[in-house]
Amino acid sequence: MNLLRLTAVEALKHMGEGTLSSVELTEAYLSQIARHDGDVSAYLKVTGDSARNEAAAIDAKKGDRAHLAGLPTAIKDVLCTEGITTTCASKILENYEPIYTATCVRQLMDAGIVTLGKTNMDEFAMGSSTENSAYGPTRNPWDLGRVPGGSSGGSAAAVAAGEAIWALGSDTGGSIRQPAAFCGVVGLKPTYGSVSRYGLIAFASSFDQVGPITKNVMDAALMMQFLVGKDPLDSTSVVYPSEIPLPVERDLSGIRMGIVKELVGEGIDPGVMTVFNEAVEKLKAAGAVIGEASLPHSEYALPAYYILAPAEASANLARFDGVRYGLRAGETNDITEMYEQTRSLGFGEEVKRRIMLGTYALSSGYYEAYYGQAQKVRTLIVQNFEQALEQFDLLISPTTPTTAFGLGEKTDDPLTMYKSDICTIPVNLAGLPAISIPAGLSEGLPVGFQIIGQAFTAPKLLQAAYSAELAFGFDKVSPLIEGRDQDGI
């Protein structure tokens, strides 16, 4: 049995039958981390000793097992974990140990997960490549010379490299789906408000949403069962309107899927479009009714996002000033100088860029010209989605315009980097759920297929994604998992 190839659902079955222990599964993943993470750099901190202890305690309970007992899980370092360093991949929080745990993480812990550690990310979730981390970039397990995407690149790379059975990420403008696409795994962005943001260190509060990065759609549905729900500590969270069952084998007969024409045109790599078009034909063969959908204002999504999100970031990141926690610059003459030096030393270039952009957009004399107009565009995009989803059950597009690009290829051109999220950002502006599943390979690199649904319809979205996954038949894994011996270690 190759332990690294097991999905979460399969691993739970084996552990429930007594043919696999939590300790064995955890050791397989810790061994893979020891073998490969020096090259991949998916983790900022590995909690190996505590993971072994957690797994041993789970095995000791034998028949009295929690629902997710023993599943080795990676957690994006934007989520607070009590007693475990949480840095947001920033120097300004280099030694910060929270005194509480994020609600979503606590819910998984209560369900029995084993915590492997905290994963690398773009600093404060600002980026599309995980090259903006203050602690160095993460590398794509499919090609170590390429990026894993971002900002949840560490979580996606950990799953793709066999360094976690699944992981938590966060999605502000595509930060779960885009790295999932680059790394050939599944990434789900839930409807805004589905999952508590309490303990998620904020980038842009009206966009941020926590979600799963998994090996397949079934595992994403399983994790979502334990993530959704109203949290009294987060006023933006809601009571989820339905249960989220595991999907079943079913074709797509009668499901109306609309190809968003604005997201398949100029700017999409020919290799990506070839895989996307082949995937669409497989959906048709599975019974889906395919048509053309339109989001006429989506061309303005990118500029609107890069006004609104930095504006929210400029407010959220004001708390990092050296007064209460985190880095504090020494040898300063007054508090203003301490603020300036602390933030200058603690924040990276991309974070500084977005704080300045956001502060400018909110400044007197420019607020209505920039922030106000961007909010109007957001409203129009919401209306576009509403109209499109009246005609179709689901909308589809490539997840990303290209496959994973080379390390350093776009770091000197922020605007080109921002365009990596042109297919995902409209969804965040509208607060809708969307999932990326691997559809095939282009020149040996994974291509993601995005499916977008109506608000709070995760069961329908996950069922359709599962059916699509079966139709695509994608069963490739990264070279770091391929060829592992039978025990997976």
Output the pLDDT for position 486: 39
User: Can you read off the two tokens belonging to residue 366?
Assistant: 């420019």
What is the rounded distance in angstroms from the CA atom of residue 220 to the CA atom of residue 167?
Answer: 10
What is the rounded distance in angstroms from the CA atom of residue 259 to the CA atom of residue 383?
Answer: 17
Give, to the nearest 10 degrees, the angle between helix 8-17 and helix 217-225: 70
If you write DSSP's letter for every residue of 310-365 in order, what string do you get? HHHHHHHGGG-SSSSSS----S-SSHHHHHHHHHHHHS-HHHHHHHHHHHHHHSTT
Output the pLDDT for position 363: 93
Pairing, β 256-260 against β 289-293: parallel
User: Can you read off the two tokens belonging to residue 99?
Assistant: 């005194």
By C-alpha distance, which of 271, 199, 265 is closest to 237?
199
Task: With beta carbons less than 8 A apart as the criterion, state whether 399 and 177 touch.
Answer: yes
Residue 484: Cβ within 10 Å count: 19
What is the rounded distance in angstroms from the CA atom of residue 375 to the CA atom of residue 420?
Answer: 22
Q: Give the H or E element holding residue 462.
A: helix 458-472
Output the pLDDT for position 478: 97
For the chain, which residues score pLDDT lower than 50?
485-489
What is the rounded distance in angstroms from the CA atom of residue 149 to the CA atom of residue 237?
Answer: 27
What is the rounded distance in angstroms from the CA atom of residue 197 to the CA atom of residue 201?
Answer: 8
What is the rounded distance in angstroms from the CA atom of residue 168 to the CA atom of residue 73?
Answer: 8
By C-alpha distance, which of 33, 43, 36 is closest to 136?
43
User: Can you read off the two tokens belonging to residue 221?
Assistant: 């549905």
**pTM of the predicted model over 0.85:** yes
Cβ neighbours for 93, distance < 8 A, ≥ 6 positions apart: 86, 87, 201, 320, 325, 326, 327, 346
What is the rounded distance in angstroms from the CA atom of residue 2 to the CA atom of residue 481?
Answer: 9
Q: What are the pLDDT digits (tens) for 312-369?
A: 999 999 999 999 889 998 888 899 999 999 999 999 999 999 999 999 999 988 999 9
By C-alpha distance, which of 271, 317, 292, 294 is closest to 426?
294
Backbone angles phi, psi at 293, to 5 degrees: -110, 160
By C-alpha distance, which of 261, 270, 320 is closest to 296?
261
Computed over its alpha carbons, how large is the radius of gyration of the chain? Answer: 21
What is the rounded distance in angstroms from the CA atom of residue 470 to the CA atom of residue 49?
Answer: 38
What is the rounded distance in angstroms from the CA atom of residue 460 to the CA atom of residue 334?
Answer: 57
pLDDT > 70: percent of the chain = 98
Domains of the chain and CATH, by start: 3-266+269-295+383-472 (3.90.1300.10), 299-375 (no CATH)
User: What's the start-to-end Cα distance of the chain, in Å?
Assistant: 10
User: Can you read off the two tokens belonging to residue 443?
Assistant: 């020149």
Handedness of CA 389, 394, 397, 399 (dihedral sign): positive
Pairing, β 72-76 against β 166-171: parallel
Cβ neighbours for 3, distance < 8 A, ≥ 6 positions apart: 11, 20, 24, 25, 28, 29, 487, 488, 489
Q: Which residues are catalytic?
A: 76, 151, 175
Output the pLDDT for position 487: 45
Q: What are the pLDDT digits (tens) for 360-391?
A: 999 988 999 999 999 999 999 999 999 999 99
Task: With beta carbons less than 8 A apart as the criterion, state whether 104 and 210 touch.
Answer: yes
